[in-house]
Amino acid sequence: MQNSFPQTNLETYEQIVTKHQSYIYNLAYQLCNNKHDAEDLTQETFIKVFQHMNRFRGDASLKTWISKIAVNTFLAKKRKKGEHMSISLGYITPEDSSIDPERVIVRREFQWCIHHILEQHMPKHYKVVLVLRDLNEFSYKEISSMLEVPVTTVKSRLHRARKLLLPKKLNYKFSGPFIANYLTAKAGM
């Protein structure tokens, strides 16, 4: 394997991997929805980082650049396989013994419903923007850079994705205000 990363910078590369590996794995898991594929995507991402380190211009943060590589690698694999995109929402509910058990049940129900909506009813270009913005808190500008689309496109996709979430909730029997408040707040209504 030929790489464009100078041998003298291997220590720097190792520091980059150490600093960003956990975050990139979590992003990969959100996109892939299983441990094995997330591990593969993480490894492929850092191989590409190693091979293309000389292309990092500093226009965006290193984290954003590496995330872009991960997202693009994921999308390319999905296009090649012709598969639908899958997103994990399992990290939303922290397992904390101080949390009210009823609230945990409501949150899990919410997670299942949102996961179902994302899997069954949302185009992948909306899903990616939703994951990057609402679940990973990237700025519009960072997402625009990652996906190589204008900021206005990112905003419109995110708005449409949130709107898709709102009416779908009416098909489920939800209990508690958490779900309605979350969906209403995220849809800007």
Q: What is the pLDDT of residues 37-61, one digit of tens each?
A: 889 999 999 999 988 888 888 877 8
Domain boundaries, the chain: 7-81, 96-187
Phi, psi of 7 (to 5 degrees): -55, -35
Question: What is the CATH topology of the domain spanning 96-187?
Answer: Arc Repressor Mutant, subunit A (1.10.10)
What digits encode the pLDDT tens for the residues 103-141?
A: 667 666 766 666 667 767 778 888 888 878 877 788 999
45 Cβ contact list (under 8 Å, min separation 6): 24, 28, 66, 69, 70, 73
Nearest to 123 by CA among 169, 73, 75: 75
- Length of the chain equals 189
pTM score of the predicted model = 0.60
**7-81, which class in CATH?**
mainly alpha
With 0-12 CB in 10 A as exposed, 13-18 as middle and 19+ as buried, what is 74? buried
